[in-house]
Chains A and B, each alone.
Chain A
Amino acid sequence: MTATTGPVRPTPLRFPLPIGGVAGTSFKHEHLGAILEAGRQRGFFEVHAENYMGAGGPPHRALEAIRRYHPLSLHGVCMSIGGPQPLDKAHLARFRGLVARYQPALVSEHLAWSTHATSFFNDLLPLPYTAATLRHVCDHIDQMQEAIRRPILLENPSTYLAFAESTISETDFIRSVAERTGCSLLLDVNNVFVSATNHGFSALDYLADFPLSRVGEIHLAGHDAQSDDDGEPLLIDSHDGPVADAVWKLYEIVIERCGPVPTLIEWDSKIPDWPVLQAEAAAAQAILDRCGITVPAEDRHAA
């Protein structure tokens, strides 16, 4: 294996796949002490892959400690899969190294772009849905899956605007990507709600069109409200607060249709104390346990 980012480990920390209908949370370093104190427990942790692409130091020590007792989800936020330019080879190699080192249960990336020419914009930027962008996205996912030697989960975006040139609906686009590349999908229910509000479509219709049978992980997060040029509500995917009631309701509907799917509470800024985040995960777990009665495989397609 090339490009491992750390020392060779004597015993691989492989975790059995899949992890099933379990609720997890973002892992934030300020919670490390509380998490380790609680010891082994049900759940999983998700980290942004790029934060662990340094050569050494405390970030890796923290992630090793977490990984020792918990399944891990590696969530890439900077691959720029949705951009027209070729993927960064060095970044692919770093990603492959992290996957090899930490053996995550889940690996995901976004239907978005963040780099153009030489500039990295540190945001998940939107793309038009056309035959040309579909080809680029599929090529990029093929390339990433080849690099890390496993399928990824692709996350649906939250967007604030659209492109006049788009000719394909987002759900059709995502379905085609999944069919052509064999990738699985990360359904961010908050993103669906945010985009539905921002673009004036029905979240339920979107979910009815979404290829739920390919969903291997769900994200839930908080959002913020602003207004657009006409004073209409414009929701911002801020990840800085509790999950909204309307998003919980959509989540229940999804779980009733999908059965139990690993579900993550994302909370990336204004980080609360650990018990607050833990309580959000417990709420998701309760819905998974209540609504996620295993659905026969053939019924999972009927959305």
Chain B
Amino acid sequence: MPPEPVCFAAAFAPGLLDPDCRVPQVVTGPNGKAAGKRYDVYRNNVTVSLIDALAAIYPAVQRITGTDFFRAMARFHVRSSPPTSPLLFEYGRGFPDFIAQYEHAQTMPWLADVARIERAWLDAYHARDATPLDPAQLGAVAPERLADLVLIPHPAAQIVRSDYSAVTIFAANRESAPVDRIDASTPEDALITRPGFDVIVRHLPAGGAVFATCLTQGRTLGEAAALALEASADFDIAVNIAGLVEAGAFTSIDFGDA
């Protein structure tokens, strides 16, 4: 193969997300006219469309911060971390961590957790379809076998833990209704599921996040309950297991070899 000449894409790409980069020398307007504003159309298309993509994934964050704040914050992230996949619904996984470190968002320490719930919401939305476990199946299990069973997680099920009232703040800001003052200081853990076609975000009760996380990691019901009790003396296994199954967090029961 003969050596390739300087690649046009390598010359064209760097300035798309870097405003300090000069207009590439390989481009031109008609009849040798200047191409500055012309190249800027591409810079603008790329930057705006990627900021729009983040706004579509994180509508509650945008509602909380206001559009101007959000777009300025998103612009920094888009420029430092452009997408690596052509599937834009996969974009922005690093945005919650970026928000957590963003200088101007430090007065909203719960904002990154709200973003984590929104990211999980979109993952649940696009997750593989699966029929959730029928609660009757669990009800039919002989009591002596309960402790050893393993529950297979639903592809959409996720848990997001927060030291703040992230679930309440998320829920209030995904609606268009006016938001009352929220006390942000109550820790809230979220369970995100999609048993049918609607994504559900629930606030897990005490010990519920440890319990649900253990179960989705393949621990037995007995192990998960013991760890949840260790984490929270208020943990109620009956309430928690019923809540998880009803929300569609699992697809089936695995008894292993027992």
Let me know if A236 is at the binding interface, CB within 8 A. Answer: yes
Let me know if A2 is at the binding interface, CB within 8 A. Answer: no
In the bound complex, do residue B34 and residue A122 qualify as a contact, i.e. CB atoms below 8 Å apart? no
In the bound complex, do residue A227 and residue B197 qualify as a contact, i.e. CB atoms below 8 Å apart? no
A229 cross-chain contacts in B, Cβ below 8 A: 29, 33-38
In the bound complex, do residue A161 and residue B9 qualify as a contact, i.e. CB atoms below 8 Å apart? no
Let me know if A123 is at the binding interface, CB within 8 A. Answer: yes
5 A-B residue pairs with CB within 8 Å: A50-B86, A83-B9, A119-B17, A198-B38, A228-B33
What CA separation (Å) do A227 and B40 show in the bound complex?
Answer: 11
| Size range of the chain A interface in the assembly | 35 or more
In the bound complex, do residue A115 and residue B37 qualify as a contact, i.e. CB atoms below 8 Å apart? no
In the bound complex, do residue B8 and residue A55 qualify as a contact, i.e. CB atoms below 8 Å apart? no
B194 cross-chain contacts in A, Cβ below 8 A: 57
In the bound complex, do residue A56 and residue B86 qualify as a contact, i.e. CB atoms below 8 Å apart? no
In the bound complex, do residue A123 and residue B42 qualify as a contact, i.e. CB atoms below 8 Å apart? yes
Segment with Cβ contacts to B, from A84-92, A168-176, A282-290: A84-92
Segment with Cβ contacts to B, from A125-133, A242-250, A258-266: A125-133
Let me know if B214 is at the binding interface, CB within 8 A. Answer: no
The winner among A116, A132, A226 for most chain B CB atoms within 10 A is A116
In the bound complex, do residue B13 and residue A54 qualify as a contact, i.e. CB atoms below 8 Å apart? no
In the bound complex, do residue A121 and residue B82 qualify as a contact, i.e. CB atoms below 8 Å apart? yes
Segment with Cβ contacts to A, from B43-51, B171-179, B226-234: B43-51
* B244, chain A: closest CB distance, angstroms: 20
A173-230 at interface with B (beta carbon < 8 Å): 198-200, 226-230
In the bound complex, do residue B38 and residue A230 qualify as a contact, i.e. CB atoms below 8 Å apart? no
Q: A50-B88, A56-B128, A229-B34 are in contact. Are A161 and B28 (CB under 8 A)?
A: yes
Instruction: Using CB atoms, name the residue of chain B closest to A128.
Output: B8
The listed residue (A88, A127, A228) touching B29 by CB distance below 8 A is: A228
Shortest beta-carbon contacts, A-B, top 7: A54-B126, A78-B86, A56-B129, A55-B128, A161-B38, A229-B34, A116-B13
In the bound complex, do residue B42 and residue A58 qualify as a contact, i.e. CB atoms below 8 Å apart? no
Instruction: Using CB atoms, name the residue of chain A closest to B16.
Output: A121
Let me know if A270 is at the binding interface, CB within 8 A. Answer: no
The listed residue (A51, A55, A80, A165) touching B155 by CB distance below 8 A is: A55
Let me know if A164 is at the binding interface, CB within 8 A. Answer: yes
A80 cross-chain contacts in B, Cβ below 8 A: 86
What CA separation (Å) do A13 and B20 show in the bound complex?
Answer: 52
When each residue 110-148 of chain B gets 1 if its CB lies under 8 Å from chain A and 0 otherwise, what string results?
Answer: 000000000000001111111000000000000000000
In the bound complex, do residue B42 and residue A122 qualify as a contact, i.e. CB atoms below 8 Å apart? no
Let me know if B107 is at the binding interface, CB within 8 A. Answer: no
Instruction: Using CB atoms, name the residue of chain A closest to B49.
Output: A122
Q: A121-B82, A229-B36 are in contact. Are A200 and B45 (CB under 8 A)?
A: no
Q: A119-B84, A228-B37 are in contact. Are A161 and B127 (CB under 8 A)?
A: no
B173-217 at interface with A (beta carbon < 8 Å): 194, 197
B82 cross-chain contacts in A, Cβ below 8 A: 119-121
Let me know if A41 is at the binding interface, CB within 8 A. Answer: no
B17 cross-chain contacts in A, Cβ below 8 A: 119, 121
Let me know if A45 is at the binding interface, CB within 8 A. Answer: no
In the bound complex, do residue B38 and residue A58 qualify as a contact, i.e. CB atoms below 8 Å apart? no
Let me know if B39 is at the binding interface, CB within 8 A. Answer: yes
In the bound complex, do residue B4 and residue A122 qualify as a contact, i.e. CB atoms below 8 Å apart? no
Let me know if B98 is at the binding interface, CB within 8 A. Answer: no
In the bound complex, do residue A58 and residue B86 qualify as a contact, i.e. CB atoms below 8 Å apart? no
Let me know if B7 is at the binding interface, CB within 8 A. Answer: yes
A78 cross-chain contacts in B, Cβ below 8 A: 86-87
In the bound complex, do residue B89 and residue A54 qualify as a contact, i.e. CB atoms below 8 Å apart? yes
The winner among B29, B36, B42, B124 for most chain A CB atoms within 10 A is B29
